[in-house]
């Protein structure tokens, strides 16, 4: 069902809702397209006219800094017209339904909606009800998926580590409530990563996580042994019910990434975090700001990756997009 929503009859992206079910070819096509957009950010004039005349609406029902801002920058660098809807003052605050909000914005000739919502499945529901010329990108839905974050993460991994097939990747923290972790696992599996490890206390580990092709660990040092990539996660306290950790200090003692724990990984291991970081809870500042951290490059790469996804959805075939970019260079 999701694949029918995401891909058109030619196998091209028409929506970007989840990593699950996407082919390795499609994921690599996005990564390769993103690579070609990196240079745009290095120009004096950081624009290409690929999406000139297109209208993109950022529809964020949850607070966001990095994701919303990088989507806005990405769309503007593609020369699209961008609208950021203030949900607090929109008609949804007066009782209008989500679909009615979208339909009213459709009537204003919107081409693409970037949607973040606290309810899992919100982006899928909208995609199932919009006309064929309107497109949806999921910027995070509940605890379900955050596919563009997963794509910028694997892009960053490839930039620093090259081929995926021999890598060992550890995902650490609140895996139970993390949409990033779910999307990341699907992306890494599809790209053929040798080993994916999930490190968390039992209260924050999904039941039967092994079914996702992941090796679970409750001991952080054991889980970090000889890994190439360490992906830290934020504690999703807003999605927790009840006390799932004894205390913040004890959590940091056991699962916070410190230089001593990082020493268990390979010497050239990279450290990642989707943000926002809670220093002293999930990660020590010495690690976050240290030489193995690629946290800020993740943010930069997010612009190129989101440009790539928008371009592939709205800008025609990859060949057409490449030809237009070459003409604009």
116 given a catalytic annotation: yes
Helices (H), 199-317: 220-224, 248-255, 259-262, 285-288, 295-314
| Catalytic, out of 25, 94, 211, 267 | 94
Do residues 116 and 60 make contact, with C-beta atoms less than 8 angstroms apart?
yes
Tell me how far apart the alpha carbons of residues 13 and 313 are, in angstroms, rounded to a whole number.
Answer: 5
The CA-based diameter of the chain, rounded to the nearest angstrom, is 59
* Strand order across the beta sheet in which 135-141 lies: 81-84, 55-60, 112-117, 135-141
| Catalytic, out of 15, 146, 261, 273 | 146
Residue 230 contacts by C-beta under 8 Å, 6 or more apart in sequence? Answer: 170, 172, 224, 257, 262, 265, 269, 270, 271, 272
Number of Cβ within 10 Å of residue 248's Cβ equals 15
Q: Which residues sit opposite 293 in a β-bridge?
A: 271
| Catalytic, out of 116, 179, 182, 306 | 116
Q: How many residues does the chain have?
A: 329
- Containing 28, the helix (H) or strand (E) segment is helix 24-37
69 given a catalytic annotation: no
Q: Which of 293, 35, 310 is nearest to 155 (CA)?
A: 35
Number of Cβ within 10 Å of residue 236's Cβ equals 18
Three-state secondary-structure class, residue 279: strand
| Catalytic, out of 18, 33, 67, 148 | 67
Cα–Cα distances in Å, from 21 out to 3, 15, 187, 251? Answer: 7, 13, 10, 34
Q: Please compute, for residue 271, the number of CA atoms within 13 A of its CA located in the half-sphere on the CB side.
A: 26
| Catalytic, out of 35, 66, 239, 322 | 66
279 given a catalytic annotation: no
Query: Catalytic residue numbers?
Result: 66-67, 94, 116, 146
């Amino acid at each position: 069902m999701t694949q029918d929503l995401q891909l058109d009859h030619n196998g091209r992206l028409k929506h970007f809702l989840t990593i699950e079910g996407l082919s390795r070819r499609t994921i690599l096509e996005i990564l390769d397209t993103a690579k070609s957009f990196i240079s745009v950010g290095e120009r004096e004039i950081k624009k290409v006219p690929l999406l000139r005349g297109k209208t993109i609406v950022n529809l964020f029902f949850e607070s966001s800094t990095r994701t919303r801002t990088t989507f806005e920058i990405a769309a503007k660098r593609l020369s699209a017209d961008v609208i950021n809807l203030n949900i607090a003052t929109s008609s949804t605050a007066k009782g209008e339904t989500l679909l009615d909000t979208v339909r009213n914005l459709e009537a204003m000739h919107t081409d693409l909606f970037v949607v973040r919502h606290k309810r899992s499945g919100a982006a899928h529901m909208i995609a199932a009800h919009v006309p064929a010329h309107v497109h949806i990108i999921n910027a995070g839905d509940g605890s379900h998926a955050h596919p563009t974050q997963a794509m910028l993460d694997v892009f960053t991994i490839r930039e620093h580590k090259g081929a995926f097939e021999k890598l060992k990747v550890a995902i650490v923290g609140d895996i139970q409530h993390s949409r990033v972790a779910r999307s990341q696992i699907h992306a890494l599996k599809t790209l053929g990563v040798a080993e994916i490890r999930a490190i968390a206390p039992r209260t924050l580990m999904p039941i039967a996580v092994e079914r996702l092709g992941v090796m679970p660990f409750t001991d952080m040092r054991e889980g970090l042994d000889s890994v190439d990539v360490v992906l830290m996660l934020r504690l999703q306290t807003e999605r927790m019910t009840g006390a799932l950790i004894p205390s913040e200090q004890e959590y940091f003692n056991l699962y916070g990434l410190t230089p001593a724990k990082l020493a268990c990984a390979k010497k050239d291991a990279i450290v990642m975090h989707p943000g926002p970081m809670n220093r002293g809870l999930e990660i020590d500042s010495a690690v976050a700001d240290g030489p193995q951290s690629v946290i800020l490059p993740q943010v930069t790469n997010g612009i190129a990756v989101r440009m790539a996804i928008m371009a592939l959805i709205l800008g025609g075939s990859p060949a057409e997009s490449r030809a237009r970019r070459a003409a604009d260079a």
